[in-house]
A and B are shown apart, each in its own frame.
Chain A
């Protein structure tokens, strides 16, 4: 019973938050508003969704905000020349960045937070290079032709939401129903056991980080589509909320435990907390303070201390 409650604690927390915000401002309770709020959360969810896999194996990816920014630059810089191909190019760029972080971490045996931090420096420079250190506007006609899948509405539901749902379903299948997902959970729970059973752990890790990079890039593409421009600093301020979403959703930083829907719920919690704070008149700048402490608190609650002999 206790375990059951713990599993759904994030959902309960989200429901309470929604009720609180709704009690404060009844106009919050409308289907349209819910759809809009969820659609606004999707870029955050996309960024966090891939990192969920990395955190599940007990690692971390600190390069996602640089990767998303770089992807927006690639998209904006090449959309006119390459058309629709600029989108896979941007996602490929992100995947390569993720793979690079993974290679540095696994082959050179460097802790993932420092490996991805180092790679993020390179990625940031690459973003500046692609954009020529400027912010690049995406002309509305190009946006209408190539990016309408990310902005707009179908069947009354914002397109961001469709993208988010499709990604969530695909990633959930990948994590819950495939051998790859099982290995991800295995590595997070007991890496040495997985190594001992003869599985090439490094390959799985490479795949997880590559996925994380690709999804961060996809988030960057959707962000650029929504804002109508790409810039080397577009996704700044997204790293903390993205990691907070994963942890608040109940995925443990120590690895092994977690799922993609948790990150979805976590992203919604972050968004509703943000809306709630805005209603209460907390300045946008001050909200970061709250998120910093929420992150630390959530890490403290969810992590499995029996796994760590010494906390460094």
Chain B
């Protein structure tokens, strides 16, 4: 009896581990059946390129979701850092032209917004979804207010090459996303912060009793997330060659969908940045497939919404939840 229960648990665990990858593979097969153009090198590079910014954003969001919290400030921070970066490089509004140095500045500003999120959430003890909702909207407001509703155009080809330049035939954005992934993976696997984030997500009370500095870890995780969003903002500005608040539209949705579809549980403690990369590819392949099939682009958010619901309901270990708010 016990052996049977244990083996069902084992199967469940294997299923949870491999399901996202299986979904991705099935999706690829399905799309290529509909449209053979899917399996071309050109389309593959296009897929990688459209996955780059979501991967960077997901690296940050994964740490937050692993703690069982949520970060709804993605769009606000991305918009704000994209606008800051575009105003600091050669552009048609300000006279600054600090070139590539704009990237670290924008990333640090992202980190500062993350710190604000974490600090308010931990010190004022406000739920993370409310805190990040408010601060995220503030970020969007800053992005719009700085420009007064205008759009700033970037006139710095070197900065733009951060996204558009190519190395070995693959856009720079993809290499940067790869680097971001490796950094996130190292943090997750090789540092105490990574371990602590899992511990907090699994059982915060026990983690606290075990002497883990929970508050500091939480704040640091939000700072990390902000730094990744800042990098995402820089890449977005470099890719589109302009900065405005709308540059981040829809990114929160894609980010959360990807993290959740990848198999990271919203309840915390289960998942990894590797899952999130798989999740990003599920979302990107699906979007790409819909374009190839000629489905209207506005349908995508609806499909992503359904994906979130499906993924969360499959992944969540609901036996542990007595009350769902």
Contacts and interface: CB of A to CB of B under 8 A. Distances in A.
Interface of A: 57-60, 104-106, 108-115, 117-122, 124-126, 128-129, 133, 191-192, 232, 240, 243, 253, 255, 283, 285-296, 299-300, 303, 305, 308-312
A111 B305 contact: no
Interface residues of B, number: 56
A108 B301 contact: no
B148 A128 contact: no
Q: Does more than half of chain B's interface fall in helix, strand or loop, or is it mixed?
A: helix
Interface string B256-278: 10001000001010000000000
Contact of B134 (A58, A125, A283, A296): A296
B324 interface: yes
Contacts of B299: 125, 129
Contacts of A128: 296, 298
Contacts of B69: 312
Q: Which of B141, B205, B304, B308 has the most CB of A within 10 A?
A: B141
A197 B9 CA distance: 33
B230 interface: no
B145 A286 contact: yes
B149 interface: yes
Pick the 7 closest A-B CB pairs, nearest first. Answer: A121-B305, A125-B302, A292-B138, A288-B141, A289-B141, A128-B298, A118-B308
Interface string B132-167: 011111111110110011000000000000000000
Nearest to A133: B298
Interface stretch (B38-46, B52-60, B104-112, B313-321): B313-321
A124 B304 CA distance: 11
Given A108-B312, A118-B309, A292 B137 contact: yes
Contacts of A57: 325
Given A125-B301, A305-B125, A289 B321 contact: no
A288 B298 CA distance: 26
A57 B160 CA distance: 49
A121 B301 contact: yes
Contacts of B126: 296, 299-300, 303, 311
A295 B298 contact: no
B109 to A, nearest CB: 15
B321 A109 contact: yes
A312 B127 contact: yes
Given A118-B306, A289-B138, A311-B127, A296 B120 contact: yes
A125 B324 CA distance: 27
A108 B312 CA distance: 9
A121 B127 CA distance: 23
Contact of B130 (A191, A286, A299): A299
A311 B309 contact: no
A287 B138 CA distance: 9
Contacts of A120: 305
B312 to A, nearest CB: 5
A84 B312 CA distance: 40
B142 A104 contact: no
Contacts of B128: 311-312
Contacts of A106: 324
B1 interface: no
B138 to A, nearest CB: 3
Given A125-B298, A288-B138, 19 more contacts: A110-B266, A110-B312, A114-B70, A114-B308, A114-B312, A121-B253, A121-B306, A192-B323, A255-B325, A289-B138, A291-B134, A291-B137, A292-B136, A293-B138, A296-B134, A303-B126, A305-B125, A312-B70, A312-B268
B302 A124 contact: yes
B242 interface: no
B12 interface: no
Contact of B301 (A124, A292, A308): A124
Nearest to B125: A311
B134 A121 contact: no
Contacts of A117: 253, 256, 305, 308
**Residue from B126, B131, B253, B309 with most neighbouring chain A CB atoms (10 Å):** B309
B322 interface: yes
A288 B125 CA distance: 23
